Amino acid sequence: MKPTLETYLSEHAEQRPDCLAVVCGGESLTYAQLYHRVRSRARQLHEDGLREGQIFPFRTSQSIDFLLTYFAVHLLGAAAAPLECGLSDERFAAVSSWLKGCPVASDTADVLYTTGTTGDAKGVMISHRAIVADGENLIASQGFCPDVAFVIAGPLNHIGSLSKIFPVVMTGSTLIILQGMKNLDDFFAAFQLPFSRFATFLVPANLRILLQFAADRLQALADRLDFIETGAAPMAEADMRALCDLLPHTRLYNTYASTETGIIATHCYSHDGCVAGCLGRSMPHSRLFITPEGTIACQGDTLMSGYVDNPVRTSEVLRDGTLYTSDVGRIDSEGRLHLQGRDDDVINVGGFKVSPVEVEDAALSHPMVHDCICTAVPHPVTGQALRLLVVLSEGHELRKRDLARHLLSRLEPYKVPQLYEPVAQVERTFNGKLNRKHYKS
């Protein structure tokens, strides 16, 4: 029988019972304590009627209680479906009712939603095999080990942060769970806990906040930060270089992953160079290639089993063991994946195809730009024109001509926006991605 995440949890509880498993707020549990409470929660859920093969929806929380429910559901052979904590009671009840009536593929451990539970959301079935493969990919490629405490600040109902639980439990290290990144004091306080080495996962938007508002505090952690992983959205080359300068002894990774594909590839830009869009080589349990259409396709044990109760939609993207994404990419001569944006995000300017990610990365290298998004607007001649919405850095004003010159020095002329507008903020999703749908008419 192949091991599951809970197999590792049980083994650590028996072999390393006094090792610290999790810290959250003022509470902490050893592996023995954690596993004891997980088994107790499983008995409670079984008494309440949860059975093997069912889906168990529950609200996500940044807490030890989340871990108890998550692992307990798995122990019972059911599928954990963590839903967003902010859902209204009515919406939570509706989604829960629907999920409880849906069949799931065998070996399903999790049902995760790709874009929340509104709009075009899709429930993705993740198997126990995929979870272990994700964990082994991260351990092999990023060096998770028992001596490094891992800090999680992102939502645990999405693959970016949830997937970090896997290698932590598999290696028997310690998980530190935070209530998000709104309070930087709480974030930095986590690194004062009595551990010699730390690691964390942060989306690019959060890394940019740290660089702009807490660079000195981040630099003070240089000797204790073993590695930082980022993902979920493109990272500006300028931010990569700034992090490398601040943290010369820290391994810095940019990873290609999604709910459907699992954890696929990673690039250590602190060692192998700061290249915008570079996501490195595939991990041990994964393979990738570029389709004739220029999009990324993935294979291996980390792939989803399918979308819940939607075989038609599943067959559109998952065929013969290959997951076909909408991400546009290329593989360089060294075998490294480069992400160039999503196929449906590409903007056609008079017959020239422009990736907004490339424009945004170039703009973010200018000191006046704190954040930005490149969007399309109608144009009578070219059909579409580029517009750059800019959140200005503190103390700067928008100098359109200077910004255009800066972009022209880095981009082909047709990629330089015609329009520039200052905005108070750029709309992002809950996990830090640019919310491009918000700006499409």
Q: How many domains does the chain have?
A: 2
Residue 181 has, within 13 A of its CA and on its CB side, a CA count of 22
Tell me, what's the pLDDT at 86?
Answer: 83
Same domain, 128 and 237: yes
Contact yes or no for 181/152 (Cβ under 8 A): no
- Nearest one of 52, 55, 48, 18 to 35, comparing CA atoms: 18
Separation of alpha carbons 137 and 263, rounded Å: 7
Same domain, 303 and 366: no
Same domain, 283 and 302: yes
Same domain, 272 and 405: no
Q: What residues contact 145, with CB distance under 8 A and at least 6 apart?
A: 171, 173
The residue out of 340, 370, 397 marking a domain boundary is 340
Note the maximum CA span of the chain. Answer: 70
Contact yes or no for 23/177 (Cβ under 8 A): yes
- CATH number for the domain spanning 369: value is 3.30.300.30
Instruction: Report helix angle 31-47 to 5-15, nearest 10.
Output: 130
Same domain, 97 and 239: yes
Sheet architecture: strand order including 306-307? 55-59, 79-83, 108-113, 123-127, 306-307
Backbone angles phi, psi at 71, to 5 degrees: -70, -40
Tell me, what's the pLDDT at 75?
Answer: 97
Same domain, 401 and 329: no
Residue 294, token pair as written in the block: 């220029």
Same domain, 250 and 266: yes
Q: What residues contact 299, with CB distance under 8 A and at least 6 apart?
A: 286, 287, 288, 321, 322, 323
Measured on CA atoms in the order 155, 158, 164, 167, is the torsion positive or negative?
Answer: positive
- Structural element, H or E, at residue 108: strand 108-113
- CATH number for the domain spanning 165: value is 3.40.50.12780
Same domain, 406 and 336: no
Domain of residue 188: give its range.
Answer: 5-340
The residue out of 290, 313, 340 marking a domain boundary is 340
Same domain, 173 and 98: yes
pTM comes to 0.85
Tell me, what's the pLDDT at 431?
Answer: 64
Q: What residues contact 434, with CB distance under 8 A and at least 6 apart?
A: 233, 360, 373, 426, 427, 428
Separation of alpha carbons 273 and 276, rounded Å: 10
Tell the burial category of 298 from Cβ atoms under 10 Å away from its Cβ (0-12, 13-18, 19+): buried
Same domain, 271 and 405: no
Separation of alpha carbons 17 and 280, rounded Å: 37
Separation of alpha carbons 79 and 113, rounded Å: 13
pLDDT in tens, the chain (441 residues): 789 999 999 999 999 999 999 999 889 999 999 999 999 999 999 999 999 999 999 999 999 999 999 999 999 999 999 998 888 899 899 999 999 889 898 899 999 987 543 346 789 999 999 999 999 999 999 999 999 999 999 999 999 999 999 999 999 999 999 998 888 999 999 999 999 999 999 988 889 889 988 999 999 999 999 999 998 777 888 899 999 999 999 999 999 999 999 999 999 999 999 998 899 999 999 999 999 999 999 999 999 999 999 999 999 999 999 999 989 899 999 999 998 877 778 888 877 888 888 899 899 989 999 999 999 998 887 788 999 999 999 899 999 999 999 999 988 898 999 999 999 999 887 667 788 888 876
The residue out of 314, 340, 366 marking a domain boundary is 340
Same domain, 358 and 232: no
Residue 206 has, within 13 A of its CA and on its CB side, a CA count of 23
Same domain, 325 and 391: no
Separation of alpha carbons 28 and 148, rounded Å: 16
Q: What residues contact 71, with CB distance under 8 A and at least 6 apart?
A: 5, 6, 9, 38, 41
Determine the 3-state secondary structure of 211 from DSSP: helix
